[in-house]
Chain A
Amino acid sequence: MSQKELIKTVNLIKTYRTDEIETLAVNQVNFTVYEGEFVAIMGPSGCGKSTLLNIIGMIDNPNGGDYFFDDVEVSKFNEKQRANLRKHNIGFIFQSFNLIDELTVYENVELPLIYQKISNTERKERVLKALDQMNMAHRKNHFPQQLSGGQQQRVAVARAIVADPKMILADEPTGNLDSEHGEEVMDILTELNDKGTTIVMVTHSPSFADYAQRVVHLFDGNIVTENMKKKFHV
C-alpha cells in the first residue's frame, strides 16, 4: 500500500470579504489525503467544507497557508496553471449535476477529453467505456433534460472519470437524489475507490459518510474530529 500524500494542506486559510463583513471560511486547516483514500468531509451548513473542497479542487485560491498536490505547491499558481493541473488530475461531481443542456450525454462526457486535446478516435473509445461503466451508453444521444436525476448523476460521474483522474471530488453528490439513487451513486464511488481512485466527498448524510474510510468533521472552518472508519484497501 502506498502512503503517498496526494493532498496536503498546511495552515490553510480562506477569508471572504464584503464591504462590511469578513468571514473566515477556512481557519488554519491542516489536512492530508493519501493516494487511494476515500475521505468524507462533514459539518453543518456554513462550516467551510465546500470551501475546503474548492481549494483542494483548485477552483478557488486560499488566502494563506500552503497547499501541496502530489508534492507540488499549488497555492500560488495562476488560473492557467491550476486549470492545467486540474484537468489532468481531478474529476468533479456536483450536487446539481451541472451537465450542459445543449450537449448530448456523449458530448458532456467527452468534454474533459476535448480540453486535453485527445484525438477523436481515442476520445470515442474512452467515452464509450465510461458510459458503459455507468450503464448509460444506450442513452448517449439523449440530452440531459431527457434523463432522470439518477441518470444525470451517472452521466456526471462518467464525465468525472473519463479522463482517468487521480482524484475525484464530489460535492454532495447525492444531495438532489432520492435514497435509492443516492445509494447507487455511492456504490459507484466505492467501486471507483476500490480500483484505486482517491475520493474526497462532502456530504451532510452520516449514512453516506459511512461509505468512506475516514470522516473529517469541520466546524467554523476548523477540523474538529477525524474518525477512521475502516482501513483502506491495499
Chain B
Amino acid sequence: MGREQFTPMFEPAAIAVIGASANSVAAGNRYIRHLKAFGYAGRIFPVHPSAAEVEGLEAFPSVASVPVPIDYAYVAVAAPLVPDLLRSFAGRVRVAQVMSSGFGETSGGQALERELAQAARDAGVRVVGPNCLGVYCPRGRVTFTERTSNEPGTVGIVCQSGGLGIDIIRRGQNRGLRFSGLVTVGNCADVKPSELVEHFLDSADTSVIGLYLEGVGDGRGLFEVLRAARSRKPVVLLKGGRTAQGRRAAASHTGALAGSDEGWKALAAQTGTVPVDSLDSFLDALVALQCLQLQERPTQRVVLFGNGGGTSVLGTDALVRAGFDVSALDPGSIAALEALRLPAGSSVLNPIDVPAGALQQDEGRAAQRIMDILCSASGVDALVMHVNMTVVLSFRHIDMLGNLIDAALRTRNASPSRAHVVLVLRADGDADVEARRREYRQRAVGAGIPVYDELIAAANALSGVRHVEAYRVRIRAAST
C-alpha cells in the first residue's frame, strides 16, 4: 500500500459528508459549516437519503450517485449503519473517517467494531476511527472545529482523543505551533497510528511529529516504524493510561518488574522519541523542536542570561536538575563581559544577571553585545534568556522587549556555533502584560525562537531537544 494513501484525507479535492441533516444541526452540518468558514476550496457532497439540499449544497442519495470520486468521506451516522455504509464506498472513496461512537469503546460494541474493520477491508477503503472527531490541515483548508489557524506549519499530530486534539490545535497555536496536519484516530479499528506516523515521516510538509496515544495494541508496529526512521524527524510522545492493564498475573520476577510503562520507556530510549507526561510539556517540546535546528552534539552547556537574581538562581537549579551544565564561562568571555562595564549588581560568570536598565544602554546595543559574547563563548550549546516583563514593560518610552527579541534573533543568525536561543517571558498575570506576552511570543516563535512562561518549562523542553540530539549521536557512532 502506497504511503501517499492518506494524503487525500489531509488535502481532499472532494469530500462526502454522511450524517448531515436537512432540517436540524447534526455533526455533519457543523462539519460543513466549519469547512466553509475555513475557506475549503474543494467540492462538498452531502449524502442524504431523501433531501435534495443540505446546508445549501446539492445532496445525493448515496455515495455511488455522487458524480466524482470522493477523496475523503466524513461519517457521522448511527453506529449500526456504519458497516453497510462503508461497503457502499467500494471503488468510490479513498479514505473514510468514522466519527460515530458505540463501537469497541462501549461494552458490547466490540463485535460491531470488528464488523466495521471487515467492511473496510471488503470495500478496499481505509477507515480512520471510529469514535473520533476529524482532521485538521490548514494547507488543505479542512478542519473539524472552529477557531483554528489557517496558517500552515510543519508539525504533524496523531491524536487518539478528539477533545485533546482540539486542545492541541487551539492551545498549541496560541503557543506558536503551526501544523502540517492533525488527525484524530479514535479506536483505530482499521488505520493504525503507526501508519499515520509513516505518513508524516514521508510528508515533505512535516518536520516534527507529535503523538497522543492511549494504547491500541499497535506498540510493536509503532516501535518498528520509529526505529526504522532512525530519528530523521523528531517525535514527541504523550502516552495516556500508563498503568498496568491486560497483563497476566506475573509468574516470575521479571514479570513483576515489568510494568506496562517499561515498554514505552524503552521505546523512547530505542527510537529517540521524546517522552512527555502532560499536555503542556507536549506542546513545550513541540515548540522547541519546531523552532530549533538540532545540533551535531547533544546540548549540554547552557548559558542563562536575564534580569532578576532570584530567577537566575531558580533557573540554574531547574537547568541543572534537567541535567544541563550551567558552569562559569571561559576566562576570555568573562573578560569580554567585564569590559562592557555593566552596572553594579550585574553578574557575569553564568548565570549572567543584568538589571533591566543596563540592557537598554547605548541605544539597546548592550544586550546585543552581551548575547554575542555568550553565543560565541567556547562550548556553549544553548542560550536561555529570561525577561521579567513587569519590569521591562515599565520602560514605557522604548520597546525594550522588542529590541531584546531582535537582538536575540541577530545573535542567533550570526552565531558561528548555531547555539540554541530560547526565550523565557515571565509575566505577572495582569491582563495587559499577558496581552503583550502573547504578541511577543507569536513574533519570537514565528522567527524561530521558542518562548516559555517559566524557566522550568524551558529546561524540560531543552531536555527533549537533547534527547533527540543524543539519540542521533548514538546511532551515528554505532553505524560508523
Partners in one complex: no
B contact residues vs A (CB 8 Å cutoff): none
A contact residues vs B (CB 8 Å cutoff): none
